[in-house]
Amino acid sequence: MSVLVETAPHVMELEEGVEAIVLDEYKIAFDELSSKPLSSHTIESYQELLLNTRLDDVAIKIKEECIYKITRYYTESRMFDNVMNILKSNNSFFGEIAKAKTAKIVRNILNIVADVPDSLDVQVSLCYDVVAWCKAEKRTFLRQRIEAKLASLLLQKKDTNSSLSIINGLLSELKKLDDKQMLTETHLTEARIYHSLRNIPKSKASLTASRTAANAIYVAPSLQAELDEMSGTLHCEEGDYTTAYSYFLEGFDAYDQSNDKVNAAVCLKYMSLCKILNNTPEEVAPLLSGKYGLKHGGPHIDAMLAVAKAAKSKSLEDYKKAVEEHSVILKSDDLIAHHIDLLYEKMLESNLLKIIHPYSCVEISYVAKKMNLPEIQVEKKLSQMILDHRFSGILDQGKGHLVIYEDSGEDVSYSKSIEIITNIGLVVETLTSRAKGEAKKTPDPTEKEKK
């Protein structure tokens, strides 16, 4: 036997032997509303549900879902100004529930806005508004979280100065509180900012501080993957491509296991870059054509395959063509854009050395013609290579010739002679100092007679 009772789930007494099915009117109203598509009419109904004074677990969960529904409607309609009003209009509700729950709701609202394409400026503006709201409501922990996110968003906008000023103020607060989790994330953002400013030593110091803070806490796999990715980036900047590849591989495995396809594809792209820069471009195709390449394939992977193919053939024309075809993808990433230019310079040097190797004197115009490059560019590169001691030679600009000297190698007898003379000088200095010391110890006989 079953009895239908339309009341709150906690206000009911059951007789012995009677089975009750409780119907919560508040939940029924929400379920019926959820089955309808989002519109201005349903949004008004959701707002009415938020005005309910109930604060039990079921009601809090329903109100949380109502807030998310309203946020999605406003973001899909690109009515971003109304998103901030959701927080302001529900101040009383946020004051009654736990602060951790409020922080979770605010972060989820920002994530909903982040899912909208081309909404970076809107996210930055919303974060500024939320920070101001947190200060007014004296929610310090939530403000620190939002400021950390704001710094990351400003870094994406290339506004590094504003991002760095926020991070510096935030770090001074977090060090007093000794919040290891926030310190780990904030120092990692600081490392990215300094890397963007091309200040590699400070970026390494920030990453070290982040890892030190991480050693004292449990680090989530996604955060550990970010640390490994940043470590690989800095090793790549220093030219240690083997170590950088191993770090990117660790980050890729973590992202792949957590189904983060976007960041996994980025790490796979960086792994390909390390193979190319390490003079093993032939290993890129097997890497990207395997199961990982098929799983995370896309225009980014196609771009790296084209660059690797050109680097393998050592053809400057093919390389320039590949970079031009995929310039939007390659230039959008700071690490790849920087090293793509370095790789071009390396290929240009190797091709020039290959052409001028058989000659003792060659016309610059002939070299430029063979390279299919402007004569001015070739002349500038040759002068740079001479100054960097890549080969011995001189540019005769009057005749337009490059004169190459034979590399005689190091004169062993000359270096040995210099070494012998240096050692003799040290012996003479030692003997002189000893003689002066003994002279001071020996008493003068005339002084004794005077006494």
Q: Which pLDDT tens digit goes with each residue over 155-185?
A: 988 888 999 999 999 998 888 888 888 999 9
pLDDT of residue 450: 55
Give residue for tokens 């799983």.
295
- Tell me if the domain spanning 220-356 has CATH number 1.25.40.570: yes
Question: Which residues, given as ranges, of the chain have pLDDT below 50?
Answer: 1-22
Question: What confidence tens digit (pLDDT) does each residue in 55-107 have?
Answer: 888 888 988 899 898 888 888 888 888 888 888 888 888 888 888 888 888 88
Helices (H), 240-333: 241-257, 261-277, 284-289, 291-295, 299-313, 316-325, 327-331
- Report the distance separating Cα 342 and Cα 140, nearest Å: 45
- Report the distance separating Cα 262 and Cα 337, nearest Å: 19
- Report the distance separating Cα 451 and Cα 331, nearest Å: 90
SS3 23: strand
Contacts of 159 by beta carbon, 8 Å cutoff, 6+ apart = none
Top-level class of domain 362-404 = mainly alpha
Helix (H) or strand (E) segment spanning residue 20 = strand 19-23
pLDDT of residue 401: 84
pLDDT of residue 5: 34
Contacts of 355 by beta carbon, 8 Å cutoff, 6+ apart = 367, 370, 371
Quote the mean pLDDT of the chain.
83
Give residue for tokens 């084209």.
306
pLDDT of residue 232: 93
pLDDT of residue 447: 55
CA distances from 84 to 111, 182, 266, 388 (A): 14, 25, 33, 58
Q: Which two tokens stand for residue 43?
A: 């949004």
Q: Which two tokens stand for residue 329?
A: 């993808």
Give the chain's count of helices (H) and strands (E).
24, 5
Residue 163, burial from CB neighbour count under 10 angstroms (0-12, 13-18, 19+): buried
pLDDT of residue 410: 61
pLDDT of residue 234: 94
In contact, 290 and 301? CB cutoff 8 Å: no
Q: How many Cα atoms sit within 13 Å of 366 on the Cβ side?
A: 10
Question: What confidence tens digit (pLDDT) does each residue in 18-37 have?
Answer: 434 345 688 888 888 888 88
Interstrand relation of 401-404 and 361-363 (parallel, antiparallel or unpaired): antiparallel
- For the chain, domain boundaries: 220-356, 362-404, 412-450
pLDDT of residue 256: 87
Q: Which two tokens stand for residue 258?
A: 């957590």
- Report the distance separating Cα 138 and Cα 69, nearest Å: 27
Q: What is the four-CA torsion angle of 8, 10, 12, 14, rounded to 10 degrees?
A: 140
